[in-house]
Structure 1
Amino acid sequence: MTTPTHLNHNLFVALRAAFPADLDATAIETETGLLYSWRDLDRATAMLANLLGSLEIPAGSRVAVHVEKSVEALLLYLATLRAGFVYLPLNTAYQQAELDYFIGNAEPAVVVCAGRNFPWISKLAFGKGVAHVFTLNEDRTGTLLDRAAHFPETHVPAVKSADDLAAILYTSGTTGRSKGAMLSHGNLLSNAQVLKDFWDWQPGDVLIHALPIFHVHGLFVASHGALLNGSKMLWLSKFDPRAVVERLPRATVFMGVPTLYVRLLQEPGLTREACAHMRLFISGSAPLLIETFRDWQERTGHTILERYGMSETAMLTSNPCRPADGERLGGTVGPALPGVGVRVVDDAFAPLPAGEIGHVQVRGPNVFSGYWRMPEKTAEEFTADGWFKTGDVGSFNAQGWLTIVGRSKDLIITGGYNVYPAEIEGYLNDLPGVAESAVVGVPHPDFGEAVIAVIVPKPGATPDADALVAALKSQIANYKVPKRAFIVAELPRNAMGKVQKNLLRDGHQGLFSDDGKGIPQAS
């Protein structure tokens, strides 16, 4: 006996129901000209779901995926939902020490990795009790697809409640190791449905998908948006500004992080004529400089829509899409989305009036239930009345538009990626000759912020700053590696002994400026 569709809250069921009537229409077109129809998506996800189901792994098992972006990787995500398991995307930049932690913490039943990484990832996974390791490459090869080819092309989606876990996204913490944010089928579907209406998705919309698919922006916001609207995606495995500009006349929607907009503005082909067919440009994952906002308006005639979200919550606020809902204000992330609560409070959690800066707290059907296997940390991050403490600091204007002014946690956002200093400091402090370190973010014209490290050597040691940076490159993702490191005798501290990172940031503000003023010398 099958469960009626309306009683099954599996996110895949809702996405599949939105496929267009013509299943032979193109759903995804790659940069190489490869075409995937909606029927291909249905059949391929069925075969992959059947493969996963054949492994006889328990309900709720995690499927950890560390592969390059490809359509097949997206199909694996959808198949994991379809089969009723939990998807665990891992940034392809993660190195061995990071994967060792994630696999140990999440205890996935299945790991999928690139073929070139199979020797070391499989050894790591099998050593931690993972039963199944498959390979998936960006050229549509690998053992995952080889095995799936033998399974049926039909599959009845697993029955899930709205509260059942759909995905775990690891987000770095300011202290200790990364935390796994648990997102349910209901969290993700509610957010996708709200955005479909609020961003006014139209019949015939076409999305340029140029984002990675290991985080919220590319995997959920972009992919769910197109799928839930039955919209075609023009798929780029990696961001290429020229390739994006070439596709603008055939598209209507583009989503990017601020760094992508900066790079697009460097393309001579980006003109009003090229953007004439476009309906919506969306920016998120990091603050958009007001200069970029204005340059884009002047160059293209379009006003970028800025929005705000987190791994733990998906999207929370958004500048208006429809003119009737108000204008898009540069430097703000708009009002709370329908059904989402956002408040700005003081240290005692008392709401603050418009114009006053305080802690941003949120609640709603999109907000996660907690961190994987961290009940105490989860309890810390929610207020007694159920609001999630984002760790962001901001203020509302008179009309209720939110502006994020910084982080109460030491987050660095570089090129749209989140970097938490405590994690980098932990690796640095383990290196030979290092007594202690402090990692901060400073302004960078391309990445928004750049990671730098200030290091105090052990007595008698003379570590080389460049050598320390080079040592980190084999341990952590490249975007986390400091772009510059400096050796100092001591770190600035306050009366309580706490490192005054504000002084370090201030002292290195001009490090990456065009004129080079204020660049300190490494000793």
Structure 2
Amino acid sequence: MRLLVGDIFTNAARTVPDRMALAIGDRSWTFGELDLISDQVAHRLLEKGVGVGDHVSLRADLSLATVALFAATAKIGAVFVPIDPALSDVEVSRLHATFDAALSLDTHGAAHLVEHAIELGPVDPIDDSELHEGLTQVMFFTSGSTGEPKGIALGQRVLSLRSHPGAQPEDRGSAVCPFPLFHVAGWATTLQQWQARAAVIYPETFRADAICRVVAAYRAERIYCIPAIWRRILDHVAEARAVGGPLPDLSSIRFADTGTSATPLSLIEAIQELVPQARVRVFYGSTEGGAVTCLQGEALTERVGSCGLPMQGIRLRTGGDGELQLQGPCVLEPVTADDPQFTADGWFRTGDLAEIDDQGYVYIVGRAKEVIRSGGHSVSPVEVEAVLATVPGIRDVAVIGLPDPDWGEIICAVVVGAPGSRTPGLEFVRRCCSDRLATFKHPRRLVVVDEIPRTASTQQVRRRLLAAQIGDAPVSSSASSAPQSPDRVPAG
């Protein structure tokens, strides 16, 4: 059996060519159109010298061009490298320094390439006889614990297997995908839908009204949102109800999923009340491991704090330090024989501390790696600290993650002011970050202390001590509501 990503939509085009494959705004493609356009774009890439194993980087906005380039690279065995268009030029340069790009495109360049490819008209199907499932298909970037960009390479086989459990012989109905196309969850949802010969709908923005509008317009049966997006939808419905306006029609939803950050019981119950006809599920996973666990049914209220049971094919264990480790066919493979992401006996190290009860339910209790997870993004404290250390008026700085009901964690800068200088406020600090860090890496809270502990313990332990020291203080969940002047907490 050959497991290639391109076969997913090519096979769909052969069986249901006139069925809708995707829609963005008022534009849509059928599976037949997706297959043809991806062939046309693939021929353009080949003309530009892109071949098997070559990297094609793209500032991946939410557009048909992004989808076309993903599909085209899959067909010729090239590596698709989607980059967050919100990243600064400095950040993008750091990413590009970690790999050789045969072709690098911004959003305008991608749109131009796809438009000209479509002008080719009918083309011969791409010869993929030399491709094999061991080829890398996508490389996603995340922040490593050291602050250096971390490219996560996922192969044709892994991506095919991750989408296969969702494939059904019958039409599953359309799914709304409120994830950006530089995020693994966006492509996981897309491929699961295409495996099932069903459509994926991308809202033009991630505003609650836009999401609700496409759910109603396409009678979508599935939606997966991070907790922060679900709260936006709940607030949108509450506001409409308060003013006596028309309520969004969400009656078509059969599966209401969430995950990527902590999901409190109050939010789960609110989603159940909003879409009582739907099955609510909470997923835990990662770019490297895919969907790892799922919490659903009665366990949502009986196993509060758990992220569920392992997905099919996933094996879990905890190491001596309590770190959750996993194996399975959908987990990325080691890059080298001594890949530090894996144990000596081949288990992937998640970086999360966990407990597993006697029924197999998993509870995430902490973090083994120095990474802040905020709204589906992984942020390195080291990277943010390096930028904040250059801000005028700051003598010393530590960056920590504080719990937040919407975002999982928010980024908090703990600073020591420079002698003889006025300690900067939050908005000034954020402005200083604007040219060097993407907005999601900016601090949402600023706390001033007299001294940051410098001991023989690791920086990770130091940050945990700081988090415990200020964790009882009020936390703002957005920059707009964050204090304009810094909080002051005495050093402990």
Query: TM-score per shorter chain, which class?
Result: 0.7 to 0.9
Where does residue 131 of structure 2 map in the other structure?
Answer: 160
SS of 2:204's equivalent in the other structure is coil
Query: In the superposition, relative to structure 1, how do residues 202 and 260 fare at CA in structure 2: closer, same or farther (>3 Å)?
Result: farther
What is the aligned counterpart of 1:208 among 176, 188, 191?
A: 176
Shift of 1:327: 9.1
Q: Kindly indicate whether the alpha-carbon contact (under 8 Å) linking 1:12 and 1:157 is maintained by their aligned counterparts in 2.
A: no
Where does residue 418 of structure 1 map in the other structure?
Answer: 378
Shift of 1:257: 0.9
Query: In the superposition, relative to structure 1, how do residues 500 and 282 fare at CA in structure 2: closer, same or farther (>3 Å)?
Result: same
One-letter amino acid of the structure 2 residue matched with residue 418 of structure 1: S
One-letter amino acid of the structure 2 residue matched with residue 492 of structure 1: P
Query: In the superposition, relative to structure 1, how do residues 477 and 370 fare at CA in structure 2: closer, same or farther (>3 Å)?
Result: farther
* Aligned counterparts of 1:275 and 1:245: Cα–Cα separation in 2: 7
* Aligned counterparts of 2:91 and 2:146: Cα–Cα separation in 1: 15
Q: Map Cα deviations across residues 271-318 of structure 1 (whole Å, 9 max, x no partner).
A: 999443221111122121221011212332144211121111222222
One-letter amino acid of the structure 1 residue matched with residue 272 of structure 2: Q
Query: In the superposition, relative to structure 1, how do residues 260 and 434 fare at CA in structure 2: closer, same or farther (>3 Å)?
Result: same
How many pairs are equivalent? 472
Tell me if 1:310 matches 2:286: yes
Where does residue 202 of structure 2 map in the other structure?
Answer: 235
* Aligned counterparts of 2:182 and 2:449: Cα–Cα separation in 1: 37
* Aligned counterparts of 2:172 and 2:268: Cα–Cα separation in 1: 27
What is the aligned counterpart of 1:391 among 324, 327, 351?
A: 351
Query: In the superposition, relative to structure 1, how do residues 236 and 425 fare at CA in structure 2: closer, same or farther (>3 Å)?
Result: same
What is the aligned counterpart of 1:111 among 99, 104, 119?
A: 104
Q: Kindly indicate whether the alpha-carbon contact (under 8 Å) linking 1:27 and 1:35 is maintained by their aligned counterparts in 2.
A: yes
Q: Kindly indicate whether the alpha-carbon contact (under 8 Å) linking 2:260 and 2:284 is maintained by their aligned counterparts in 1.
A: yes
* Aligned counterparts of 1:157 and 1:509: Cα–Cα separation in 2: 61
Query: In the superposition, relative to structure 1, how do residues 337 and 23 fare at CA in structure 2: closer, same or farther (>3 Å)?
Result: same
Q: Please give the residue correspondences for 1:248-327 in structure 2 after superposition, counting only pairs within 5 Å.
A: 248-249=215-216, 250-268=219-237, 274-301=249-276, 302-319=278-295
* Aligned counterparts of 1:493 and 1:388: Cα–Cα separation in 2: 32
* Aligned counterparts of 2:422 and 2:291: Cα–Cα separation in 1: 47
SS of 1:265's equivalent in the other structure is helix
CA RMSD between the two structures: 3.0
Shift of 1:490: 1.4
Between stretches 466-475 and 80-89, larger displacement belongs to 466-475
Output the TM-score relative to the length of structure 1. Answer: 0.82
What is the aligned counterpart of 1:189 among 136, 145, 160?
A: 160
Query: In the superposition, relative to structure 1, how do residues 203 and 272 fare at CA in structure 2: closer, same or farther (>3 Å)?
Result: farther
One-letter amino acid of the structure 1 residue matched with residue 379 of structure 2: V
Shift of 1:468: 2.9
Q: Kindly indicate whether the alpha-carbon contact (under 8 Å) linking 1:443 and 1:509 is maintained by their aligned counterparts in 2.
A: no
Q: Kindly indicate whether the alpha-carbon contact (under 8 Å) linking 2:41 and 2:118 is maintained by their aligned counterparts in 1.
A: yes
Shift of 1:463: 4.8
Query: In the superposition, relative to structure 1, how do residues 520 and 51 fare at CA in structure 2: closer, same or farther (>3 Å)?
Result: closer
Where does residue 473 of structure 2 map in the other structure?
Answer: 510
Q: Map Cα deviations across residues 325-355 of structure 1 (whole Å, 9 max, x no partner).
A: 99995533222222221112322xxxxxxxx
* Aligned counterparts of 1:454 and 1:204: Cα–Cα separation in 2: 48
Listed as ranges, the gaps of 5+ residues in structure 2 are none
* Aligned counterparts of 1:177 and 1:211: Cα–Cα separation in 2: 24
* Aligned counterparts of 1:497 and 1:231: Cα–Cα separation in 2: 49
Q: Map Cα deviations across residues 200-228 of structure 1 (whole Å, 9 max, x no partner).
A: x8524211122111111112x21011111
Q: Percent identity?
A: 24
Tell me if 1:13 matches 2:7: yes
What is the aligned counterpart of 1:223 among 173, 190, 200?
A: 190
Q: Kindly indicate whether the alpha-carbon contact (under 8 Å) linking 2:264 and 2:405 is maintained by their aligned counterparts in 1.
A: no
Listed as ranges, the gaps of 5+ residues in structure 1 are 1-5, 116-134, 348-357
SS of 2:120's equivalent in the other structure is coil
Q: Kindly indicate whether the alpha-carbon contact (under 8 Å) linking 2:430 and 2:443 is maintained by their aligned counterparts in 1.
A: yes
* Aligned counterparts of 1:97 and 1:222: Cα–Cα separation in 2: 30
* Aligned counterparts of 1:380 and 1:149: Cα–Cα separation in 2: 47
Query: In the superposition, relative to structure 1, how do residues 272 and 433 fare at CA in structure 2: closer, same or farther (>3 Å)?
Result: closer
One-letter amino acid of the structure 1 residue matched with residue 382 of structure 2: A
Q: Kindly indicate whether the alpha-carbon contact (under 8 Å) linking 1:511 and 1:520 is maintained by their aligned counterparts in 2.
A: no
* Aligned counterparts of 1:497 and 1:385: Cα–Cα separation in 2: 27
SS of 2:339's equivalent in the other structure is helix
